[in-house]
Structure 1
Amino acid sequence: MPTQEIGAPIPNVPHAVSVSLPTWEATVGYEEGESWVVNKMTSGYPRFFIHTSIKKLAKKLEEKYGRQNEVAVIFPSYKVAKRCREFVKTHAGSDANGSAVRILQLSTPPPANADESSTKIESNIGVVFLQASLFPLAKSYWQHSGEGISSRMGEYVLHALFGDEDDGSVGNSGYSNALQQAQQIQRRSPSIAASFSSINAPDKVAEKEYNAFIEHKFGRVLDLKFAKQAKIALRRRICGKVDHSHNQQEEIEKAKRGKNLSETDVYLFPTGMASIFFAHYALLQTWSTPKKSVCFGFPYVDTLNILKKFGPGVHFLGLGDDASLDTLEKQLESGEIDVMALFCECPSNPLLKTPNLKRIRSLADKYDFAVVIDETVGNFLNIHVLPYADMVASSLTKVFSGDSNVMGGSLILNPLGKHYHKFKEFFDEEYEDLFWDEDGLYLERNSRDFAERSAKINENSLLAVDLLQKLPLISKVYYPSIGESKKYYEEIKTPDGGYGGLLSFLFHNPIHAVRFFNAVNLHKGPSLGTNFTLACPYAILAHYQELDEIAKWDVDRNLIRISIGLEDPDELLGVLQKSLDSASDP
């Protein structure tokens, strides 16, 4: 059953990506910092909420290496820590008051022998020490860039450097025993779920409890020495090349990115936001003269923040429609603006608009700017956007993973792009693999059935959209298969692709939106692309401080967004119908 407990992790595992905000009022309370909500938050979306293991590691580092009133912010490399320091100094202004922002590099011990390579890895961190008054700026960098350490990395480094774990329930010897047991499970099967097949459980509830127990007790259940192979498998999966030795789905063969694309053009990142950030960073470093970029269409909040806060700035065309492209073309032609790149989502989150990528590509070629496309919402099994992009970014946290227990991102360079060689040279010199090995192992395991899950989600979503469109209470439904931009989606849709799992909708009466959301028996919290259906009052959750501003871009404050999952379709539609009926009750 979906949790209705405020602040509980979704799912109920130590490294959950989402968190429960089960009512409209709780979401507002969270945004306003009300104690009855924030004091119950034991988890949160990782770029916004710093995980307990990371907090404990930071405290240990402050106690051992910190100076008076200093706090520690931890990143997975010295280079990233330097970028954070530069951001803080740039934006601190008079608030810095001459305060030093310093960086400490630390490493964990490498494995001493082959046996230890299953449980040990040499890792490096860059720790930014700064005055507590400057912490909000460092936290802002953490959120926007997506380059903070993952919770699993924090847990590992905490144990490796200080010999304890986040919950303190397992000491050194207990920790080692847990890892040994976990490895035994892994040797029986690469999947936690599969390992349950040898357990005589009476029902599905016991199976779910067992799976949660295994993840909670052992944390890292996959052998670290296979991390390199897991990342190769991920890159091949992302570029559409099937490695049959790993039993990956044949269906992915149907979604080849292009015969010229190699896994060497696919780069992994700790989060989807980190891939977008690095794309922008690469542009700023390689363009002869850094210029403003265009943000085309209303995007996820931190994409726009990256373009605003790093570099020369942004031209924001928030409607993302044909008229916006007309305006852009006139400004480019007249010389009113000269841009470095155009960033867009395909489709956009949360309005599910599809940009005219053919026209965007034509303008980019004519006026010499790069195109960066975020395909997260569409996913590469449903849409093929690479021919129109110089770089394609994606959050692997979402439907590619599905399990909502690991963060990850990817960035693809188009080998046929005009600027490919310039970008490739920069990536060869500057790219760091900051994707934590344990996270890579989890993501590889989670994504093995990506094709099968994506198809099922496509089917369930069409049924949900059909239900919503028939109801008089609903004033508008947003989905790629309907609306004015459908024609542009059809141009990039793969032969066997669908329309994805994300939809948004509005009620005629805002009171009905609140009633529906509070009544609906679904998981409710941030994120999307989960194997379970997940709902949120999107504008309230993502833009509470700027509700009037986002209305200019047709984002209504009462918008509800639902990410459709893998539930039985009859059961899912029944849950939706029941809550829709109750919304209209007097």
Structure 2
Amino acid sequence: MDVLEPHSLPLGHSIPHKDDHAISVSLPSWEKVVQYMKGEKSVVDKLQSDYPRFYEHQYVQELHESVLRRVRAPEYMRCAIFPSEAGMRRCSQYLRRNTNIAFPLQQMCFKATLGDISTTTWARFYAVLYPMEYTKQVREVWAFTGDGISSRHAEFCVQRFALMESTSKFPALTTSAMATVVGQIPIPQWGESDSDVKAKIKTQIAKLVTSHKPGYDAVKPQDVLLYPNGMSAIGAVARSLVPTNISSEAVVFGWPYGSTPKAVRESGYGSFTFYSHGTRDELEQLESSLSAGRSIACLFCEIPSNPLCATPDLHRIRRLADQYHFAVVCDDTIGTFVNVDVLPYADAIITSLTKMFSGACNVMGGSVVLNNRSPLYESLWSRLQESHGDHVFPMDASVLYRNCLDFPTRVQTANSNALAVVKFLQMQDIISHVNYPTTVATKNLYDIYRRPNGGYGYLLSLVFKNPEHAIWLYDSIDLCKGPSCGTNFTLVLPYSQVSHAFELDWAESQGVSKHIVRISVGLEEKSILISKLQQALQAVRAPGCALPTATLSAHFH
């Protein structure tokens, strides 16, 4: 288990530094975060990496350019690349619904017909060509579906691209392989068989997610499904719950990670409702409407929520689900399998394995666990099996498995560190409030779902009394700063400025401050973390630190 030394990195450095497959990037100042979200060239050109759903990794870019050259695409065309045909089709459908594109989208499949079994199995991908004016929409669907190809898979395909032919209903996009012999193609060093590694990951998850409550049998590995990332898992479950013959509604209850409502909304439901606060009053509104005849297909929630750390009343939600026949889907990414026991209340549990399960910040992954005692188990299992394909690239699976072996120990360390950080921050008079499962109004609910030896997790957020102080803390703190969370090292982010950059006023109206600072606490020594925070707070309190009003306005808008 490698833990970065806790310090800030220069703009654009990959996090972890010098890792070809790093999934975070250093954004060391608030101003650079704002410029990053605006796509300003001065920042974007310095990025050595980024969160994979937000950009094209260098290997994905190489594959992208190889495709355009092979089919001799005009200069105004771009392409998006997916490991599955279904992902490609979802991208095309989204473009048709959300743009005025006037001609059929050009889709193609690339696959190798020469080479060893690993090459013929995994040197395969799907691409959609589109005019570059629709890049914004493609980036949207790439972000909220998680359907894009992974960096390791793209690297594998780049190395074998000469062996690949393309097929398409458009004759101009049908091409032959450029090489007829395997030549010097590198042999992948995967070690154990791909199926064995994935079976071990599923066994590990099944063991950890099993409920400690009396009467619950151990979860079976076959009730665990693996996905390339958490968003692709959310999308798969959301689509599987859309009724086939009636109008339907999906509900997201409580403030979740920013991409979740988009993924659920775009899954094919007739309507969508967002109960953004996740309160008792909102549950009563939902119950009242259900008793009056309203019908919903599913309810998605998080435990605890990101970044406000609130916990939903899963007992009451479960009772409503049983009475009114809808599915409960719970995302326990922030809570983790180790800390919370939610299986008795959920029909399906979704987890981003990218976060604490991996911890190393160098691989993506997602999982779905089905509750075999759920009344919806048979139908949900059947529909997920119909749509599920093995799109987790073997090298991603190998890295994920190596990373997860000490997962329970890391969770306990992060629990302890985060609790210490929260107690320290609560003593600071310039901080308005700290969001953590122990400090928010739903602490009693979290404790109900906390395992006997579980803690309160690694994630917290804070709001200053003076918005300027949020900027000064972020700029001053000598810790890694960038997107993602659940990393083995502490990672800080001005959350709303990234997740709600284009809807800041709306997010704040729903209780998520424009200047909220999220801290994902890592495995460093407590004393070091507290010292880093103390130094940053001293800088905030230093005379002359106030920003001009015009500068502050620019930061928040």
Which position in structure 1 is the counterpart of 2:79? Answer: 72
Which position in structure 2 is the counterpart of 1:186? Answer: none
Q: Structure 1 stretch 458-467 or stretch 312-321: which is displaced more?
A: 312-321
Q: Cα distance, 1:289 vs. partner?
A: 2.1
Residue type matched to 1:576 in 2?
Answer: L
Q: Cα distance, 1:318 vs. partner?
A: 0.3
Which position in structure 2 is the counterpart of 1:17? Answer: 23
* Paired residues for 1:192-207 under 5 Å: none
Which position in structure 2 is the counterpart of 1:406? Answer: 363
* Paired residues for 1:254-269 under 5 Å: 258-269=216-227
Q: Structure 1 stretch 79-88 or stretch 338-347: which is displaced more?
A: 79-88
* Paired residues for 1:167-182 under 5 Å: 176=186
| In 1: Cα distance, 2:318 partner to 2:290 partner | 14
Q: Cα distance, 1:577 vs. partner?
A: 1.2
Deviation per CA, 1:255-307, whole angstroms, max 9, x where unpaired? Answer: 999415211010101110110011111112x5542412111111111111122
Q: Are 1:227 and 2:232 an aligned pair?
A: no
Query: Given that residues 253 and 276 in structure 2 are in contact (C-alpha distance below 8 angstroms), is that contact kept between their aligned partners in structure 1?
Result: yes
| In 2: Cα distance, 1:476 partner to 1:148 partner | 38
**Pick from 258, 267, 271: which aligns with 1:313?**
271
Where does structure 2 lack aligned partners over 5 or more consecutive residues?
165-181, 544-557
Q: Cα distance, 1:355 vs. partner?
A: 0.3
Q: TM-score normalized by structure 1?
A: 0.84
Q: Which structure has more helix as a fraction of its residues?
A: 1
Once the two structures are aligned, what percentage of the paired residues are identical? 35
| In 2: Cα distance, 1:111 partner to 1:464 partner | 53
Structure 1 vs Structure 2 CA RMSD? 2.3
**Pick from 68, 89, 106: which aligns with 1:82?**
89
Query: Given that residues 64 and 80 in structure 2 are in contact (C-alpha distance below 8 angstroms), is that contact kept between their aligned partners in structure 1?
Result: yes
Aligned CA distance change for structure 1 residues 20 and 14 (closer, same or farther; 3 Å): same
| In 1: Cα distance, 2:156 partner to 2:185 partner | 11
Query: Given that residues 123 and 160 in structure 2 are in contact (C-alpha distance below 8 angstroms), is that contact kept between their aligned partners in structure 1?
Result: no
* Paired residues for 1:278-293 under 5 Å: 278-284=236-242, 286-293=243-250
Q: Are 1:272 and 2:230 an aligned pair?
A: yes
Q: Structure 1 stretch 549-558 or stretch 126-135: which is displaced more?
A: 126-135
* Paired residues for 1:89-100 under 5 Å: 89-92=96-99, 95-97=100-102, 99-100=103-104
Residue type matched to 2:343 in 1?
Answer: L
Q: Are 1:156 and 2:156 an aligned pair?
A: yes
Query: Given that residues 111 and 121 in structure 1 are in contact (C-alpha distance below 8 angstroms), is that contact kept between their aligned partners in structure 2?
Result: no
Which position in structure 2 is the counterpart of 1:423? Answer: 380
Equivalences, count: 518
| In 2: Cα distance, 1:263 partner to 1:488 partner | 29
Query: Given that residues 109 and 122 in structure 1 are in contact (C-alpha distance below 8 angstroms), is that contact kept between their aligned partners in structure 2?
Result: no
Which position in structure 1 is the counterpart of 2:169? Answer: none
Q: Are 1:572 and 2:529 an aligned pair?
A: yes
Q: Cα distance, 1:136 vs. partner?
A: 2.8
SS, match of residue 514 in structure 2: coil
Which position in structure 1 is the counterpart of 2:283? Answer: 325
Where does structure 1 lack aligned partners over 5 or more consecutive residues?
165-171, 180-219, 243-251
Aligned CA distance change for structure 1 residues 82 and 257 (closer, same or farther; 3 Å): farther
Which position in structure 2 is the counterpart of 1:103? Answer: 107
Residue type matched to 2:88 in 1?
Answer: A
| In 2: Cα distance, 1:298 partner to 1:52 partner | 33
Which position in structure 2 is the counterpart of 1:47? Answer: 53
| In 1: Cα distance, 2:50 partner to 2:90 partner | 25
Which position in structure 2 is the counterpart of 1:467? Answer: 424
Which position in structure 2 is the counterpart of 1:37? Answer: 43
Aligned CA distance change for structure 1 residues 83 and 290 (closer, same or farther; 3 Å): farther
* Paired residues for 1:355-366 under 5 Å: 355-366=312-323
Deviation per CA, 1:124-181, whole angstroms, max 9, x where unpaired? Answer: 21111223233332322211100111000000001011389xxxxxxx99874xx6xx
| In 2: Cα distance, 1:122 partner to 1:574 partner | 47
Query: Given that residues 222 and 442 in structure 1 are in contact (C-alpha distance below 8 angstroms), is that contact kept between their aligned partners in structure 2?
Result: no
Aligned CA distance change for structure 1 residues 22 and 45 (closer, same or farther; 3 Å): same
Q: Cα distance, 1:466 vs. partner?
A: 0.5
Q: Cα distance, 1:21 vs. partner?
A: 0.5
Query: Given that residues 8 and 477 in structure 2 are in contact (C-alpha distance below 8 angstroms), is that contact kept between their aligned partners in structure 1?
Result: no
Aligned CA distance change for structure 1 residues 283 and 253 (closer, same or farther; 3 Å): closer
Q: Are 1:534 and 2:538 an aligned pair?
A: no
SS, match of residue 207 in structure 2: coil
Deviation per CA, 1:38-74, whole angstroms, max 9, x where unpaired? Answer: 2212211100011011011011111112543432211
Query: Given that residues 307 and 313 in structure 1 are in contact (C-alpha distance below 8 angstroms), is that contact kept between their aligned partners in structure 2?
Result: no
Residue type matched to 1:412 in 2?
Answer: V
Any runs of at least 4 consecutive aligned residues in structure 1 with deviations exceeding 4 A, and if so which? Answer: 172-175, 252-258
| In 1: Cα distance, 2:348 partner to 2:13 partner | 36
Q: TM-score normalized by structure 2?
A: 0.89
Residue type matched to 1:227 in 2?
Answer: D
SS, match of residue 381 in structure 1: helix
Query: Given that residues 208 and 337 in structure 2 are in contact (C-alpha distance below 8 angstroms), is that contact kept between their aligned partners in structure 1?
Result: no
SS, match of residue 377 in structure 1: coil
| In 2: Cα distance, 1:255 partner to 1:263 partner | 19
Q: Cα distance, 1:486 vs. partner?
A: 0.7
Query: Given that residues 255 and 494 in structure 1 are in contact (C-alpha distance below 8 angstroms), is that contact kept between their aligned partners in structure 2?
Result: no
Q: Structure 1 stretch 350-359 or stretch 574-583: which is displaced more?
A: 574-583
Q: Cα distance, 1:526 vs. partner?
A: 0.5
Residue type matched to 1:350 in 2?
Answer: P
SS, match of residue 361 in structure 1: helix
Query: Given that residues 385 and 492 in structure 1 are in contact (C-alpha distance below 8 angstroms), is that contact kept between their aligned partners in structure 2?
Result: yes
